[in-house]
Structure 1
Amino acid sequence: MKSDLILYDGECGLCDRTVQFVLARDRQDRYVFAPLQSAVGQEQATKHGLDASELSSFILIEDYDGNAHAYLRAKAALRVCRHLGLGWKVLSIFGVLPAWLIDPFYNFVARRRIKWFGRLESCRLPSPEQRAKFLA
């Protein structure tokens, strides 16, 4: 089975909650995770020509260990929704819209995420059951 890598800001409260949300709904065991601040996050972002210092970006690298393709911001989030169950799959319909149309909504929240959800002192340590899902 293909593994899709989600890169996220490991010190962002909203990003951490998003990772926990995906973990709880990833019934296909499809996703693995790495903070953008980690060596794996930096390496994967660079490999795909992305700026790893741009921490407000949610990045999905589909089939990261094979024929990889990277998605950013709203496109990435909506592609993740496709595999989280029927209710969330419906949201993925908006993924057909161009990024210039859906990213402003993503960017609105991204600019305010620290103010609204806070900053973690450090990246969360995964539980023993979750450890295999984190590459960093």
Structure 2
Amino acid sequence: MSKRITPFASRYCSTLDRLKEAIRRKRPGLLRRGVVLQHDNVTPHSANLTQQWLQRYGWEILPHPAHSPDLDPLTHLFGPFKRHLGGMAFETEDDLISELRNWFDNLDVDFFRVGVNSLLSRWQKCIDLHGDYVEK
């Protein structure tokens, strides 16, 4: 796996900075106890710059088995977002980003809670199946 610096790694580290600040403000005890983060192995996540950021703050990465879409923490977002976008056309990338932000802003907190909680059962199924594919 190549650990290159990419422009996206810099953007991802900026996102991690904002996440760290939000945790500091809202749940400071989490930073003292340690943060465990799950992300996949795309280049911005595996880049040297990101790895250095994670080491600097002592954040642990929960391993993500290769080719495991069933363990993707964002799985529950794609279907509803795809249905929301159905039939829409965007003239610019900014228009699409604006619609995405608007969609997220209007989601109920329970939507996220259900998605995060489903990770627990999906990880347990993966463990029970010794890493084999997890059917939904």
Q: TM-score, normalised by structure 2?
A: 0.28
Higher strand share: 1
What is the TM-score of this pair, normalised by structure 1? 0.28
Q: Which has the larger radius of gyration?
A: 2
Considering fraction of residues, name the structure with more helix: 2
| Higher relative contact order structure (alpha carbons within 8 Å, sequence separation ≥ 6) | 1
